[in-house]
């Protein structure tokens, strides 16, 4: 299964979450808090919302809860951006 993250193709296993694919690719963070601090997986169970990404144009998707699907287009986002 392959997804695209900020234009880069990443391979994952069926059933992995988007966060799982990102972590397996060596990414520890993919978002910035308003302070500029890096954010990625914190709780890993859908509670903290630190892992938010845009998936196929939908903002604020929790990467730790969303299973990656073949062909997903993932874009990183920041709380400092305008919606």
Burial letters 24-62, b for 16+ CB under 10 A, else e: eeebeebbbeeeeeebbbeebeeeeebbbbebeeeeebb
In this chain, which of 55, 64, 68, 74 binds ligand FES, going by CB under 6 A?
64
49 touching ligand FES, by CB under 6 A: yes
Decide whether 25 or 47 has the Cβ nearer to ligand FES. Answer: 47
Decide whether 48 or 54 has the Cβ nearer to ligand FES. Answer: 48
Residues 6-45 binding ligand FES (CB under 6 A) are: 41-44
């Amino acid at each position: 299964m392959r997804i695209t993250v900020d234009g880069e193709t990443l391979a994952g296993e069926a059933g992995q979450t988007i966060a799982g694919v990102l972590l397996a690719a060596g990414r520890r963070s993919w978002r910035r808090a308003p302070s500029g601090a890096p954010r990625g997986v914190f709780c890993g169970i859908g509670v903290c919302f630190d892992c938010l990404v845009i998936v196929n144009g939908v903002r604020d998707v929790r990467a730790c809860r969303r299973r990656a699907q073949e062909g997903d287009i993932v874009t990183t986002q920041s709380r400092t951006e305008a919606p």
